[in-house]
Chains A and B, each alone.
Chain A
Amino acid sequence: MSGDKLIQLAHGGGGWLTRELIESEIVARFGNGPLRGLPDGATLPSPRGQLVFTTDSFVVQPLEFPGGNIGHLAVHGTVNDIAVCGGVPLWLSLALIIEEGLPFAVLARVLDSVRSAADACGVTVATGDTKVVARGQGDGLYVNTAGIGQALPEFALSRERIREGDCVLVNGPLADHGLAVLAARQNIGFVNGPQSDTAPIHRLVLSVRDLGASVRFMRDPTRGGAAAVLNEIVGGAGFGILMRERDLPLNPATRAVSEMLGIDPLHVASEGRVILICAAGAAPEILRRWHAMPEGAGAACLGVVTRDNTGRVVLETLAGGRRLVDVPRGELLPRIC
């Protein structure tokens, strides 16, 4: 498509232009699987055992940011939600709400990213929907994906299984996505600024399936960052979590930007990270396996589960003091994913 061609309202009208849009943008990329012939719904083989089913909507601004775009996010977000539930992602639905005036070139780049991300994750876009809204009634592009995965029987993930002494692991540096989007949105113009970490984490989960009995709980630290996830885990529980500030994995650019803007990186979203709580004995083996994989090269132990400070997340600071890690309050970073 030419660079300056724009989406028109009629592209959503159900007529010839709609057909052209679907043929050129959707069928060209996704038309070889269950979408072939554009049926109203996908007919899929039924896997054995239990299913994991999830959905997520993506409203990030700007649509393209350092390290990725809304298309990557839409695949990785849903794939990762399935993975942290202990599932292998299989199928995705893809629903687009496009604002009149969106350049076809942007849409093409986003859909190319959806395709390449889905291929890399081994998932198939099985069904979808496209709507166009009038100028001013959207914000370029909103994307919704739903996903179906097969639950791995090795995992029995539950907050109730967490015990004192368990380790809290993460597969890499925190907060890169949120600060990359923020920096792009505010046109802060950093040189060598933060890059989004948007990436799938399902292979990391697969790599530890034989240790499933030692894995207590998994969650991806998206909105609200690690602080929100960890507080959710300790909330109302009979244990606390202690982290050490000097052990927190942070990329230099992200740390510099969070320092400059006065934002606690523990409050900022990642899109390619999994927080995994496991029995202490299994932690070295999990870290060893993750370190051998590109998406786990920066894996680290974030903290430990403690008997004291029940219901609280506590940070041992660089100064050696201890303080509470609270959940983020207010609208710290709206529309980050």
Chain B
Amino acid sequence: MKYIDGFRNPEAAAQFVRQIVAQGRALDEQGRRVHVMEVCGSHTMAIGRYGIRSLLPGNVELISGPGCPVCVTAPGYIDAALALAGRGAIVATFGDMVRVPGSDSDLTACRSQGGDVRVCYSPGAALELARRQPDRDVVFLAIGFETTIAPMACLVEEAQRQGVKNFSLLTAFKRVPPALRALLSDPEIRIDAFLCPAHVSAIIGTLAYDPIAADGRVPCVIAGFEPLDILYGVHGILAQVLNRQAKVENLYARVVRPEGNPKAQAMIARFLEPVDAAWRGLGVIPASGLALRSEYAMFDAAKKFGIAVCPGRQQAGCRCGEVIKGKIRPSACALFAKVCTPENPVGPCMVSAEGTCAAYFKYGLPDKTQGEKK
């Protein structure tokens, strides 16, 4: 805890905040507003948990981005999982996914109607389940960004080594850099800088952001999840904006290296290849997903069972897509905190522990910088 406490030091935080306020004033004198997108869902939760938004100057806005893997998964993916459960497979999943709405239903309803849906706390538990029940097909809902993808590649290797034939993955892996490019090219959204994810960057490295910073002319600053990390990150971004710079800056050097984690990258490249992927809110982004290579097709649930994953339909009135893009705040959605609550979520951003709507509901205070509640 002593190690963590260093990154939560109130005096150091106050110093950063004073500097950030001064930066905000300097920008204000130039008549400038800054829109910073925090890409990662864990950043969104940490920003809420430490009340970071309430500390920032009025002309510096933190917008939550598409960094929650559950939230960006398209409704059609849930439809495919429901179809697999309907065929008698055991569907194993992380807990958040069981309440994410598909086009017409969700996995919780499927389970109550007799579908075999199991919540696992690690992907390894799903493989173990398959080994214990060799007469049943076990399909793991393999979603996630680069951080989660590398261990799942290891899981496929393990399944192959052990010869577990009744185990497969329904993949919806997503890569962060193509999504950032897609957001920058969207004329409806204004992004002046990215606060880049911490753990994803540990895998992909800082070099992965070089072309984004250069082509998009936006600062890309990598920061950790503790309050001082985030304030340090915002400070670094504003310094670049003031100097009209747009470069990649690594402020999480205790974990992230320029080249990332080569071993994890090699595992990903060995088992998976880039594919076009459908993102809730963002639509289909070329080469933004990863799917199992053809030589591992026996572990690919969609191919094994001949299931097509379609885009699907989002619930009427749900504006999760716009929230994910950072186009609106959760409070702009008519359903937020009225119809859509953590107990009765309408969209995935309220379901997931890392979802933007869940973070605003849990931590948000009603003022100019926070999500209005009730």
Q: Which residues of A approach B to under 8 Å, CB–CB?
A: 246, 252, 255-256, 259, 309, 312, 314-324, 326, 329-330
Contact = CB atoms under 8 A, between A and B. Distances in A.
Given A317-B227, A319-B8, A324 B17 contact: no
Contacts of B53: 321
Contact of A326 (B8, B17, B54, B362): B362
A246 B5 CA distance: 11
Interface in B51-77: 51-55
B365 A314 contact: yes
Nearest to B5: A318
A314 B364 CA distance: 10
Contacts, number: 68
Contacts of A316: 51
Contacts of B54: 321-323
Given A256-B1, A324-B362, A319 B10 contact: yes
B342 interface: yes
Contact of A321 (B50, B342, B343, B362): B50
A67 B7 CA distance: 32
B48 interface: yes
B50 A323 contact: yes
Contact of B55 (A256, A315, A319): A319
B202 interface: no
Contacts of B228: 319
Most buried by A among B8, B51, B343, B373: B51
Interface string B345-374: 000000000000000011111000000010
Given A259-B4, A323-B365, 20 more contacts: A246-B10, A312-B365, A314-B365, A317-B50, A319-B13, A319-B17, A319-B52, A319-B227, A320-B13, A320-B55, A321-B53, A321-B54, A323-B49, A323-B50, A323-B51, A324-B363, A324-B365, A326-B361, A329-B343, A330-B343
Nearest to A244: B10
Nearest to B361: A326
B213 interface: no
A318 B8 contact: yes
A326 B55 CA distance: 20
Given A323-B365, A326-B363, A318 B373 contact: no
B122 to A, nearest CB: 14
Contacts of A317: 49-51, 227
A259 B10 contact: no
B195 interface: no
Contacts of B52: 319, 321
Contact of B365 (A252, A322, A329): A322
A319 B1 contact: no
Binding site secondary structure of chain B: helix
Contacts of A321: 50-55, 227
A319 B225 CA distance: 12
Contacts of A246: 10
A318 B48 contact: no
B365 A318 contact: no
A324 B14 contact: no
A323 B9 CA distance: 18
16 contacts: A255-B1, A317-B49, A318-B8, A318-B10, A319-B8, A319-B228, A320-B13, A320-B55, A321-B51, A321-B227, A324-B362, A324-B363, A324-B365, A326-B362, A330-B342, A330-B343
B61 to A, nearest CB: 15
A252 B1 CA distance: 8
B341 to A, nearest CB: 8
A322 B55 CA distance: 8
B231 interface: yes
Interface in B311-327: none
B1 A324 contact: no
Contacts of B14: 320
Contact of B227 (A259, A318, A329): A318
Contacts of B343: 329-330
Contact of A320 (B10, B361, B362, B363): B10
A315 B364 CA distance: 11
A323 B10 contact: no
Nearest to A330: B342
A319 B50 contact: yes
B177 to A, nearest CB: 27
B70 to A, nearest CB: 15
Contacts of A330: 342-343
A330 B98 CA distance: 14
Contacts of A326: 361-363
A322 B17 CA distance: 13
B231 A319 contact: yes
B361 to A, nearest CB: 7
A159 to B, nearest CB: 21
Most buried by B among A256, A315, A324, A326: A324
B1 A318 contact: no
A156 to B, nearest CB: 32
A48 B363 CA distance: 48
Most buried by A among B10, B48, B52, B373: B10
A324 B50 contact: no
A201 B49 CA distance: 31
A178 B10 CA distance: 28
Interface string B218-258: 00000000011001000000000000000000000000000
A321 B363 CA distance: 11
Contacts of A309: 365
B278 to A, nearest CB: 29
Given A317-B49, A317-B51, A323 B13 contact: no
Contacts of B361: 326
Contact of A315 (B1, B4, B51): B51
Contacts of B231: 319
B352 to A, nearest CB: 13
Interface string B1-33: 100100011100110010000000000000000
Nearest to B11: A320
Contacts of B342: 329-330
Contacts of A312: 365
B51 A319 contact: yes
Q: Which 9 A-B pairs have the closest CB atoms?
A: A321-B51, A319-B227, A323-B51, A319-B50, A323-B363, A319-B13, A318-B8, A317-B50, A329-B342
